[in-house]
Structure 1
Amino acid sequence: MVGTWDSGPFDNDSAADWCGGLNDADPAERLGIIRQTLAEVADHVGFLDDRLGVRAVAAAAVIVSQRPGAEALTSAYAPDFLVEGEALVVPEDVAALAVRALDRVVGDDSEWRELWEETGDAADALAVVGDLRTALAAAP
């Protein structure tokens, strides 16, 4: 896939750009950006564009990083404010929204899924999303 260098949640141009935008946003607006990104995917009707999918995966990874006991983000492409140790308070309803968005990303009518299947590396990418989903669905 063009602009993708690995199967991690931040390892593509669209996710890295989204993370940069989240990082540059006013801290008071960050949760709203995450919520909007996830809702756009969770509620999407019809064929889901890959760019929307990868941004939702990145948003879900950001939420997972803020769960109790989660590993700190270390990716050079994750939002800098989180890599540097800032916290983001994420209400539980946003985690549930992220689960719905991830389910949509890996669904049948998703360009994200189609593109990963074409590469032959779908198992790795699906495992990354599955791990995120498991972490989000677990009690905080």
Structure 2
Amino acid sequence: MGTWDVGPFDNDHAADFTGDLDDTPAPERPALIRQALEAAMREESLDGHVGDIAVAAAAIVASQCPDGEPCDPVYGPEKPLSPLPADLRPLAVQALDRVTGPGSELADLWADAGSLAEWRAGVDRLRAVLSSEG
């Protein structure tokens, strides 16, 4: 896995996902984001690559929320997204909870790299934006 920083788009899996998102016809993009979020909750033991993609998908959803940060201009989606369905917000929160919870390889990898606190702080910021009522 190529990872260069702790941000939601700072790894090869997320970059591949956003490339796939750009290649997907606009009406089908929300479904692709939904699939990425749901995939994180289907696995008993969450693989790191599934977690990477779920975090990127959650960041895309958060980018459309009040106080959400724009997606990474280099590795995030290049094509603009239409407004996403509101029901993706709680789904994104659930996916982030799964990615940071027990049985997540991604959390273990960040712990092994000595950057768990920094990575977790970024995920927690996404979660706060997604959970806000604003």
Q: Tell me which interval the TM-score lies in, with the shorter structure as reference length.
A: over 0.9
For residues 97-140 of structure 1, the C-alpha deviation after alignment (integer angstroms, 9 at most, x for no partner) is 00000000001101001100000011110011000000000014
Please say which of residues 67-76 and 129-138 is displaced more in the overlay: 67-76
RMSD across aligned C-alpha pairs, in angstroms?
1.3
Q: Partner letter of residue 7 of structure 2?
A: G
**Residue matched to 2:47:** 49
1:33 maps to which residue? 32
SS at match of 1:5: coil
Range moving further from structure 2, 66-75 or 93-102: 66-75
Which amino acid in structure 2 is aligned with residue 7 of structure 1? V
Unpaired runs of at least 5, structure 1:
none
CA contact (8 A) 1:54 1:112 kept: yes
Identity of counterpart residues, as a percentage? 44
1:71 corresponds to:
69
Equivalent position amino acid for 1:39 in 2: E
Match of 1:112 among 106, 123, 129: 106
CA shift in 2, pair 1:116/1:26, >3 Å: same
- Structure 2 alignment gaps of length 5 or more: none
Decide whether the 8 Å contact of 2:90 with 2:130 is kept in 1: yes
Secondary structure of 1:80's match? coil
For 2:56, the equivalent position in structure 1 comes to 58
Matched residue, 1:93: 87
TM-score in terms of structure 2 length: 0.94
Residue 5, structure 1, aligned to residue 4, structure 2: yes
| Cα drift, residue 69 of structure 1 | 4.5
- Checking the alignment, whether the CA contact within 8 Å between 1:48 and 1:109 is kept in structure 2 is yes
How big is the shift at 1:70?
3.1
* Aligned 1:114-133 pairs, distance under 5 A: 114-133=108-127
TM-score, L = length of structure 1: 0.90
What amino acid is aligned across from residue 37 of structure 2 in structure 1?
A: L
